[in-house]
Chains A and B, each alone.
Chain A
């Protein structure tokens, strides 16, 4: 194998990444110096302050056009794939409806002149109109713009972008010029940025269509809820049971894709917000290495931990999106000076040897203790009841699915090694160290904490706690994170290329990439619910993760399963969609005697913030 054929994680300088992460943490408070000047907040539209649905149409000019050649790696990778033959991406009998096509399949069909983007747009709009009253995945649907754009992009041509005519769902914390960007929070209730986030600029430049903005946990915290904490978006697999966790905080993005209301989507992850909804809804979510994708124009949660990335139907779709999203951005210092963007599309193309599915690169998978068989019941333990039995049963189902997944990977040629937990793992990844992130939440939002703490709704506590950590504790915590990264590189990735993870927190803390993918279904009670696996890699190991996921998905079909539509009676009894969070009545489900008091206590909407304050937030 030639050196040039090796994935990036093999040759990248891990020590340099360690130093980068340490510097990033230390630099967090001064990162504002890197943010370019410029207006970030459009002047309020006349009357907007009193309307829950301010009219769209404010200036949408992007103040940060892409640098010349910024999309060249994506175009080159896509053109190389086109020369290899996009038809190879269609690996199954094509489904009847356009809404069932993966991004790769749609691109292949468009390349053959067999599909027009408007057919895709209409298919998704039809489902949103009929079903999103139940799913509640969307805050804003850009129906007219999507239709207009689909007509404008026309058919395929040699210069077409890598995401030509692909309708995407965008989490509601990405700036989209002229479009409400609320982050499901009262703070941003009427926020219409005048420019697109860099990620959105790149997607649009690649030919993608922004179908709309998706619901999320308030300020990217929990599953999607109203600011007061009432659930909105449901799991696409259990639309009749809002109690089933759909995963968060990129909930709407995941539900939109799982329910076939968008071809693919982007989310953000600070503490599992891409991988969790992907796992809960049978999708493939990729959290890239810190800095691989620009965060400029994303409402911040934690400067040193926020990661944008795709939530897609399968590994190839995730690769197609990442290929476009990845790259340096003058407006985000985290993206500068990294290794060049590799060919993710090629990494995700399945490989065969001697006619059999195979690995693209020799790969060793590390298994941590308890992953395949959790702690046994203590002798003499009494049988559990109710919820405890269900939980235990699901755990056993998950362990069984994991064992089958590992066997499938071994059949593909993966070498499996058992690893001990790294030194001091529990201490360095536990709750108290995880709390070190909280001052990074509080600092950019101090103005709003001082204005009215009720603006934070039910998510307030961590913002308050972030004000209570002392400077020396914050610094020591940052240094502990650097030590954790060093330990993981020394003790885990010296022995394997990919490692299983059961929690996203450790790799979110230290900026390493994660992929989540479906590995089975739990059918022990109620409707079938997806089960998934989460795999982590060393810095810039996205190619490795995509290649392994693609190989696994070439011999399994979990990622192809489609949730059944909501029952007709449920659809009929629900207002038509979309139903954004602000349509909910704050007193819904509350004792009638308390409703008026609750409505009266509602914080004022849409606090006005000026350009300087927005730059504070845009760290």
Chain B
């Protein structure tokens, strides 16, 4: 899958934050002397999104594509013919 651009990720981050009512706009845009600025916060968030969800998705023990017949989805996969219902 193609990497998302910085702009795409920034849009995702800012939209998500807006949905929960968090406003980064109160921070300076780019000020290395400030405790936090929008540029650094967004850079950190982009790095987080580029690494963490993928690492969790690719964890061993959790198989992709198996029928979630058991909860939690077992490391060994579902039984061959899971009962319906």
- The answer, among B17, B28, B56, B62, for a CB contact under 8 Å with A432, is B56
Chain B: minimal CB distance from A168 (Å): 32
Contact B59 A468 (CB under 8 A): no
Given the contacts A468-B16, A468-B48, A229 and B53 also touching, CB distance less than 8 Å:
no
What CA separation (Å) do A592 and B35 show in the bound complex?
Answer: 17
Contacts of B59 in A (CB 8 A): 427-428, 433, 476, 480
Contact B22 A464 (CB under 8 A): yes
Given the contacts A449-B22, A454-B26, A480 and B17 also touching, CB distance less than 8 Å:
no
What CA separation (Å) do A361 and B35 show in the bound complex?
Answer: 51
Contact digits for B16-29, partner A, Cβ 8 Å, 1 yes 0 no: 11001111101110
- The answer to whether the Cβ of A473 comes within 8 Å of any Cβ in the partner chain is yes
Contact B21 A594 (CB under 8 A): no
What CA separation (Å) do A424 and B75 show in the bound complex?
Answer: 14
Chain A: minimal CB distance from B35 (Å): 4
Contact digits for A552-572, partner B, Cβ 8 Å, 1 yes 0 no: 000000000000000000000
**Chain A residue at minimum C-beta to C-beta distance from B36:** A460
Contact B53 A470 (CB under 8 A): yes
Chain A: minimal CB distance from B24 (Å): 6
Contact A227 B35 (CB under 8 A): yes
Contact digits for B55-70, partner A, Cβ 8 Å, 1 yes 0 no: 1110111100000000
Contact digits for A455-466, partner B, Cβ 8 Å, 1 yes 0 no: 011101100110
Contacts of A473 in B (CB 8 A): 52-53, 56-57
- The answer to whether the Cβ of A46 comes within 8 Å of any Cβ in the partner chain is no
Given the contacts A424-B60, A467-B16, A467-B17, A432 and B34 also touching, CB distance less than 8 Å:
no
Contact B55 A432 (CB under 8 A): yes
Chain B: minimal CB distance from A503 (Å): 17
Contact digits for A419-432, partner B, Cβ 8 Å, 1 yes 0 no: 00000100110111
- The answer to whether the Cβ of A353 comes within 8 Å of any Cβ in the partner chain is no
Question: What size tier do the contact residues of chain A reach?
Answer: 35 or more
What CA separation (Å) do A139 and B21 show in the bound complex?
Answer: 33
Count how many chain B residues have C-beta atoms less than 8 Å from C-beta atoms of the other chain: 34
Chain A: minimal CB distance from B64 (Å): 12
- The answer to whether the Cβ of A590 comes within 8 Å of any Cβ in the partner chain is yes
- The answer to whether the Cβ of B33 comes within 8 Å of any Cβ in the partner chain is yes
Contact B45 A465 (CB under 8 A): yes
- The answer to whether the Cβ of B85 comes within 8 Å of any Cβ in the partner chain is no
Chain A: minimal CB distance from B71 (Å): 11
What number of A-B contacts does a CB cutoff of 8 Å give? 103
Contacts of B53 in A (CB 8 A): 469-470, 473
**Chain A residue at minimum C-beta to C-beta distance from B13:** A468
Given the contacts A432-B51, A450-B20, A465-B44, A480 and B61 also touching, CB distance less than 8 Å:
yes
What CA separation (Å) do A503 and B40 show in the bound complex?
Answer: 27
Contact B45 A228 (CB under 8 A): no
- The answer, among B13, B21, B34, for a CB contact under 8 Å with A598, is B34
- The answer, among B27, B35, B56, for a CB contact under 8 Å with A228, is B35
- The answer to whether the Cβ of A601 comes within 8 Å of any Cβ in the partner chain is yes
Contact B22 A467 (CB under 8 A): yes
- The answer to whether the Cβ of B72 comes within 8 Å of any Cβ in the partner chain is yes
Contacts of A127 in B (CB 8 A): none
- The answer to whether the Cβ of B4 comes within 8 Å of any Cβ in the partner chain is no
Chain B: minimal CB distance from A453 (Å): 6
- The answer to whether the Cβ of A483 comes within 8 Å of any Cβ in the partner chain is yes
Contact A467 B20 (CB under 8 A): yes
Contact B17 A427 (CB under 8 A): no
Interface set, chain A 143-174, CB cutoff 8 A to B = none
Contacts of A460 in B (CB 8 A): 35-36, 41
- The answer to whether the Cβ of B49 comes within 8 Å of any Cβ in the partner chain is yes
Contacts of B44 in A (CB 8 A): 461, 464-465
- The answer to whether the Cβ of A479 comes within 8 Å of any Cβ in the partner chain is yes
- The answer to whether the Cβ of A452 comes within 8 Å of any Cβ in the partner chain is yes
Chain B: minimal CB distance from A296 (Å): 28
- The answer to whether the Cβ of A477 comes within 8 Å of any Cβ in the partner chain is yes
Contacts of B17 in A (CB 8 A): 464, 467
- The answer, among B22, B51, B52, for a CB contact under 8 Å with A453, is B22
- The answer to whether the Cβ of A436 comes within 8 Å of any Cβ in the partner chain is yes
**Chain B residue at minimum C-beta to C-beta distance from A587:** B33
- The answer to whether the Cβ of A613 comes within 8 Å of any Cβ in the partner chain is no
- The answer to whether the Cβ of A446 comes within 8 Å of any Cβ in the partner chain is yes
What CA separation (Å) do A436 and B59 show in the bound complex?
Answer: 13
Contact A436 B56 (CB under 8 A): yes
What CA separation (Å) do A431 and B40 show in the bound complex?
Answer: 19
Contact B56 A464 (CB under 8 A): no
What CA separation (Å) do A415 and B14 show in the bound complex?
Answer: 55
- The answer, among B16, B27, B34, B56, for a CB contact under 8 Å with A433, is B56
Chain B: minimal CB distance from A68 (Å): 41
Contacts of A477 in B (CB 8 A): 56
- The answer to whether the Cβ of A352 comes within 8 Å of any Cβ in the partner chain is no
The 10 closest A-B pairs by CB, nearest first: A432-B55, A458-B35, A461-B44, A228-B35, A465-B48, A450-B21, A457-B35, A460-B36, A432-B52, A435-B52
Given contacts A460-B41, A464-B45, A469-B53, 4 further A-B contacts (CB under 8 A): A446-B20, A450-B21, A464-B22, A598-B34
- List residues of A whose CB falls within 8 A of some B CB: 227-229, 424, 427-428, 430-433, 435-436, 446, 449-450, 452-454, 456-458, 460-461, 464-465, 467-470, 473, 476-477, 479-480, 483, 590-591, 594, 598, 601
- List residues of B whose CB falls within 8 A of some A CB: 13, 16-17, 20-24, 26-28, 33-36, 40-41, 44-45, 48-49, 51-57, 59-62, 72, 75
* 15 residue pairs A–B, Cβ–Cβ below 8 Å: A228-B35, A430-B55, A432-B54, A450-B20, A450-B22, A453-B22, A453-B24, A456-B36, A458-B36, A461-B45, A467-B16, A467-B17, A477-B56, A598-B33, A598-B34
